[in-house]
Structure 1
């Protein structure tokens, strides 16, 4: 492909696009062509300024920008793949406000995290939370947070303007046992990656940028408490690259109560797909389920940290996913060097049986003590 011709065409197409023009992801077949394209663009007289309107995604040799209908890209189809840069949403129900929370939340107790703390607390394990950001001033999270990144505004810290990311971070690694709550892995480090806006919405390209950042910053685990109904090859490529780099990607199955289907990216085999359970060890009515689920974890009426130092109760497969991410942090601190495939195998063979129908026999619920014992075998 002639990258110079493509570059000039793209400049013209972007100049005629408007705020309502759909965003698209353009992936280059060849790494060399992607690099040449970025180099040529940056060397144009106004190239650096124009590139600000484009998201560069080196992890998948791609860019994202607003472009007219893809038919206009047909003549370049031998050199690039094109897909819509779709919206993706967080997986949680409406929160219920609480004034305070003391001690160990029921989900943390239920999966037997406290019994494991004599052996492992997740010390120094890095958990990337691609979400709405985090409340840096929350007393239960202060010891557990690294700087992270704000992909919506690079000049700012990833401050949470929604609450969902703070809730996820609390279940994974809250550490304020004396006055507040404690999470699954209280010595793990949360790396907040703000890709979602205050409405809990993000573009696939922002998620990919978040994965890229996590790979470059060598996190051990990526928590993905979000999903969409449609497949994205670009997102799959980014997740595969993270998987091949040894990063464990944990994803929520979705909250539509579907019996034979889960959302993407949880549907990809390179992730650990998580469904939600209730206090009674039953599959929660709202959770998507079926053969794509790798493990279930508490996701119903989960209390965790919230904005302005508060606490909220939330339900959703998002909450279940954060329990599993915390458990994997405990496992990695206990047995360093396990691969994503090792971890999935250990989790799946160490679950507690669920109560209820036949389908639930295919997989079970997270049990941290059984998980650690399975890792020793």
Structure 2
């Protein structure tokens, strides 16, 4: 029996193609597609990095009263919605990506619907794969080099093969992966140390776990067989009210990791997808859990490693990395 996946408000949609003048990708720096609730492009720090906005929803509540819209303001919600943590989440995640990589171009895709009352509307898997398919269709247009998805479902089986079957979503992730575009997904905040949330558990998705003070965060989901990468799970963020807030969770680590990936692709464009993954593993701080090794990628380590490579210093020397190996029970 296949479970119907409801992602705390994920989605199904009629996709409508808008007529927009094409952009030549070669003229653009590598960008990330952030799939989340909404973004406040009026915040100065965000506006300068906002390359494009898209709204793909199950409900006809995009700013044009339909299921789909793209262009300036498409992913915006009025501040009254931003007061809710649900809808402010996207703004916070965007600000974290920018604070990690200040020059990062962002294609923000709103995938969470809001009722007039301010309630989060029920959404399903369909919007996830339609959003990923939009990325696939437009990756050249905006030079999208990564997807960051900090939404998910932990409605999983307890069996060894626990991940819900989602053929179309899995196909979209695979197609992006084959183009060298990773889909980074929050592993989830349930404290589950044997399963990661959907869709991070799907083949070729890359779940990102969180570390706190150098250790796997208590809240972070981990699958020892899948969880290859981790990043810091706490950060300062900007809210829709332009106030600074403290954010924590694997949503944070996902944005941090995706922003670091874009930094790597920008600074060392000669690296292939496989070479980029290898580079990160070589500079990562190994974290061992149930005899499986994951890699905590630290921003300062990455910056130093990139600079060293530019100056011809071998990564294998590891002279600039403080390596920490811990056994977590």
Q: State the TM-score, normalizing by the size of structure 1.
A: 0.61
Residue 116 of structure 2 is aligned to residue 191 of structure 1: no
**Residue in 2 aligned with 1:86?**
5
Q: Deviations over 1:199-234 (max 9, x none)?
A: 386321111111112122211110011222333122
Q: Deviations over 1:249-286 (max 9, x none)?
A: 111111111112112222234222211111x2111111
User: Aligned runs of 1:1-377 on 2, under 5 Å?
Assistant: 86-89=5-8, 124-152=29-57, 153=62, 154-155=68-69, 157-160=74-77, 161=81, 162-173=87-98, 183-198=99-114, 199=120, 202-218=123-139, 219-228=144-153, 229=156, 230-278=164-212, 280-289=213-222, 290-300=224-234, 302-354=235-287, 359=290, 362-371=293-302, 373=305, 376=309
Q: Matches of 2:253 and 2:105 in 1, distance apart?
A: 19
Q: Structure 1 residue 308: deviation in Å? A: 2.8
| SS of structure 1 residue aligned to 2:106 | strand
Q: Matches of 2:128 and 2:247 in 1, distance apart?
A: 23
Give the conservation status (yes or no) of the 8 Å contact 1:145–1:189: yes
**Residue in 2 aligned with 1:46?**
none
**Residue in 1 aligned with 2:17?**
none
Give the conservation status (yes or no) of the 8 Å contact 1:231–1:264: no
**Which consecutive unaligned segments of at least 5 residues does structure 1 have?**
1-69, 71-82, 92-122, 174-182
- 1:135–1:241: structure 2 CA closer, same or farther, 3 Å change rule? same
Q: Matches of 2:221 and 2:275 in 1, distance apart?
A: 25
- 1:201–1:147: structure 2 CA closer, same or farther, 3 Å change rule? farther
| Greater CA drift, 282-291 or 224-233 | 224-233
Q: Matches of 1:362 and 1:265 in 2, distance apart?
A: 21
Q: Matches of 1:231 and 1:364 in 2, distance apart?
A: 27
Q: Matches of 2:51 and 2:190 in 1, distance apart?
A: 33
Q: Structure 1 residue 171: deviation in Å? A: 1.0
Give the conservation status (yes or no) of the 8 Å contact 1:272–1:344: no
Give the conservation status (yes or no) of the 8 Å contact 1:167–1:304: yes
Give the conservation status (yes or no) of the 8 Å contact 1:211–1:238: yes
Q: Matches of 1:188 and 1:319 in 2, distance apart?
A: 16
Q: Matches of 2:106 and 2:188 in 1, distance apart?
A: 23
Larger Rg: 1
Give the conservation status (yes or no) of the 8 Å contact 2:219–2:249: yes
Bigger proportion of residues as helix: 1
Q: Deviations over 1:279-337 (max 9, x none)?
A: x211111111123111111113x221211322322221111101100100110001115
Q: Matches of 1:247 and 1:320 in 2, distance apart?
A: 18
Q: Matches of 2:237 and 2:275 in 1, distance apart?
A: 29
Give the conservation status (yes or no) of the 8 Å contact 2:209–2:220: yes
Number of equivalent positions: 252
Q: Matches of 1:321 and 1:296 in 2, distance apart?
A: 8
Give the conservation status (yes or no) of the 8 Å contact 2:209–2:250: yes
Give the conservation status (yes or no) of the 8 Å contact 2:38–2:110: yes
| SS of structure 1 residue aligned to 2:135 | helix
**Which consecutive unaligned segments of at least 5 residues does structure 2 have?**
11-27, 63-67, 82-86, 115-119, 157-163, 315-329
